A and B are shown apart, each in its own frame.
Chain A
Amino acid sequence: NAGVMQNPRHLVRRRGQEARLRCSPMKGHSHVYWYRQLPEEGLKFMVYLQKENIIDESGMPKERFSAEFPKEGPSILRIQQVVRGDSAAYFCASSPQGSLDYEQYFGPGTRLTVT
């Protein structure tokens, strides 16, 4: 059973470009969480999605960031017009349910560098 997959593992973008980060949850998991880890900081929750629904986006920056989890295919975290401060590791996690009884399994992360 493959774990959570994220691609690309490393992404370099110039300021002003768009970044698309993909997350394929574990088989049978329909709940996806995105977290961001800025350099020398802890992980911060960004958004929680179920298939075709955004459940909690309280951690998403108000502008330039969006997320989706379509019926088919991976979850996508999209960052428009990237700035240097977006450089971070972006982790997604999946679980079979969104309740407290289910562990979140993390993917290996995408390291975004904005030059």
Chain B
Amino acid sequence: RKEVEQDPGPFNVPEGATVAFNCTYSNSASQSFFWYRQDCRKEPKLLMSVYSSGNEDGRFTAQLNRASQYISLLIRDSKLSDSATYLCVVTSGATNKLIFGTGTLLAVQP
């Protein structure tokens, strides 16, 4: 079983749509959780950290459920520029190494 699992997509949505991504992780000892964004052939960039209390940054809302080992990302009012691969990431061990899911591809259509 993969440590971090995501639906690979692709998610094809029209501009303005709301889209939700889900992710599960297997290591209950994981301590930090993130969503990264990766554009084609570019480096991953931190989108937001994820907390149990939930956090929001503009059109983006992230949520963590430790009991279910489940992480979500909600994007409201999708823009063409949101088209990218969204990576669910958890940390592992004392060294803070990042464990990445394989990513979910989002394509926002005009």
Mark A residues whose CB is within 8 Å of B: 33, 35, 41-45, 48, 55-56, 59, 89, 91, 93, 95, 98-100, 102-104, 106-109, 111
Query: Which parts of B10-30 form the interface with A (CB within 8 Å)?
Result: none
* A45 and B99 in contact, given A100-B31, A100-B91 (Cβ under 8 angstroms): yes
Using a CB–CB distance below 8 Å, which chain B residues touch chain A? 4, 31-32, 41-46, 87, 91-93, 95-103
How far in angstroms is the closest Cβ of chain A from B27?
13
A-B pair count, CB < 8 Å, reads 53
B-side interface mostly = loop
A91 touches B44 (CB 8 A): yes
Q: Is the CB of B97 within 8 A of A33?
A: yes
B95 touches which of A43, A98, A103 (Cβ 8 Å): A98
Kindly identify which residue among A42, A44, A48, A59 contacts B87, using a CB–CB cutoff of 8 Å.
A42
Q: Is the CB of B99 within 8 A of A95?
A: no
Q: CB < 8 Å: which of B43, B45, B46 contacts A109?
A: B43
Q: Evaluate contact between B93 and A56: CB separation under 8 angstroms.
A: yes
